[in-house]
Structure formats: structure tokens, C-alpha cells
Amino acid sequence: MRIDLLTLFPEMCETVLSESIIGRARKKGAVQICCHQIRDFAYDKHNRVDDSPFGGGMGMLLKAEPIALCIDDLIDQLGEKPHLIYMSPQGKTLTQQRVKELAKYENIAFLCGHYEGIDERIIDEYIDEEISIGDYVLTGGELPALVVADSVCRMIDGVLSDDECFQEESHFNSLLEYPQYTRPAVWRGRKVPDELMTGHHQNVQKWRREQSLLRTAEKRPDMLKTAELTKKDKEFLTKLQNSAKNNEI
């Protein structure tokens, strides 16, 4: 897979994407990530990429032409138009399901806005979808784009050492992840649960599944609506609900 970021701050993006798991995946060729400086496509002597909005108002907007030239250059490099995402608070909120879908594309690109945003005509002309990482506003689209790029990269073969590294994580299967512990077995008087100390694989798996259900029911009950639950899962959740009702009486 190839991922491209169109941004005013490519060095910032490179710093993040060159470290840790994603950085190692890039070095071994599991994923290709390229950052493009929009300012390189400015066409006046001052390299300006922004201007004041028609109709007045606070702040500046990124102009259409430098962005368009940057996108066109990327299309020429690839020989086709990538799936182009604009990071925007007006977009649909990112979910793990959408991450899994994006990981199936051969080429995706992120347009990172700045200031008060971008000329609407770029969205009309080029953008395939808008994505938000939450209901709040940041100074630019770089951090959201890095979040999405990181989450997508983890789904690509060869980035993580084993599929189980992400298949048991929170949100992958619409459940929150179970608690995890490491040595020592007792830390400041707090013991690791006995179920994890037995070495009995089936008991460990049963405990982990029930803890995932418990955590999800307590912290994110809305996620249970889309989770794939077995008969045993439903029986366990029913026991939790009945226990909670009895404690309220």
C-alpha cells in the first residue's frame, strides 16, 4: 500500500511516521508513505498558499490552485487518482470498521487543511471523503491524518508481527480489550488475577472474553449493539445485568 500526505508541514509528518512500528514497516517496504509540500506549488514570488475569504471573516483560507497542482502532480506520479481524504471536523467520525475498509485500498492520500480550511471548490473537484477523528477542532489536519495513517498501517500485512496483535485490541471486534498484566505477579499489594497464573489456555481465554464483555458493558455499552456475540456471551451479559439489578434493590 502507498499513503501520501499533502501538507504544509511535511517535516512534522515525517518525524512521526519515521519512528516506532510504522518507521520500521517503511524501512522493510511493508508500506510506502510519501509527504508532499503544498507550498512547492505556490505560483507567486512570495510562495503564498493562503488568502482572505470572500465575504469577510476571521482567518485565512488555503487557495485552490496550489492544492490542485499538488494533487495533479501526485496523480501524474501514480498514474491514477488515489482515494483522496480531507481531514475535516465536518467528516464522518473515524471507526475501526472504516480503518479496515481503508486498508484495502492500494493508494490513499490525505489532504491536510490549515488556518480556516480550504477553498470549497477543491472538495467539490477532488475529495472522495471527509473524515473526522472527533468533535473538536485542531490547528491543522496533520495530526488527524497521522492518526488515520497509523491506524490503517497497522492493518497492512507485514507491519505487525502477528495478526493477533490487532485482532484482540479494543474496537477491532466491537469490544474493548481485556486487562493485561506483566511481572511481577504482585505489585504494591495488587495481585495478577489467578486465572492468568494457571497456565490453562482455555481458562485464560474464557477470562479474557468475559473481561472484554464486562469492560464494554461498563464503559461503552453502545458498542455491544454491533458486536458479534455468542450464546455464552449473551448469557454472561444477562448475568451481569441481573447482578446489577439485584445490587440496586
For residue 248, the model assigns a pLDDT of 74
What's residue 26's pLDDT?
97
Q: Are residues 193 and 150 in the same domain?
A: no
Q: Give residues with Cβ within 8 angstroms of 200, minimum separation 6.
A: none
Residue 191 lies in a domain: yes
Question: What is the domain range of residue 216?
Answer: 186-248
Residue 155 within a domain: yes
The answer to whether residue 154 is domain-embedded is yes
Measured at the alpha carbon of residue 157, what is the angle toward residues 152 and 162, in degrees to the nearest 5? 105
- CATH code of the domain containing 242: 1.10.1270.20
18 and 63 share one domain: yes
| Residue 174 resides in a domain | no
- State whether 16 and 135 are in the same domain: yes
Domain-terminating residue out of 162, 196, 229: 162
The verdict on 197 and 132 lying in the same domain is no
DSSP string, 98-158: HHHHHTT-SEEEEE--BTT-B-HHHHHHH-SEEEESSSS--SBSHHHHHHHHHHHHTTSTT
Q: Check residue 69 and give left, alpha or beta (phi > 0: left; psi -120 to 50: alpha).
A: alpha
Q: How many CB atoms lie within 10 A of CB 113?
A: 25
pLDDT given at position 244: 87
| Domain CATH number, residue 112 | 3.40.1280.10
pLDDT at position 164, please?
Answer: 45
Peptide bond into 193 cis (omega under 30): no
Query: Is 97 within a domain?
Result: yes
211 and 155 share one domain: no
For the chain, residues with pLDDT lower than 50 are 164, 166, 170-171
Q: What's the pLDDT score for residue 43?
A: 87
- pLDDT (0 to 100) of residue 167: 53
* Whether the model pTM is above 0.95: no
Paired strand residues for 94? none
Summarize pLDDT for 11-33 with one digit per residue, the tens: 999 999 999 999 999 999 999 99
- For 70-82, how does the pLDDT look when each residue is reduced to its tens digit (9 = 90+)? 999 999 999 999 9
Cα torsion 145, 146, 150, 156: sign? positive
Question: Which set of grid coordinates corresponds to residue 219?
Answer: 464503559
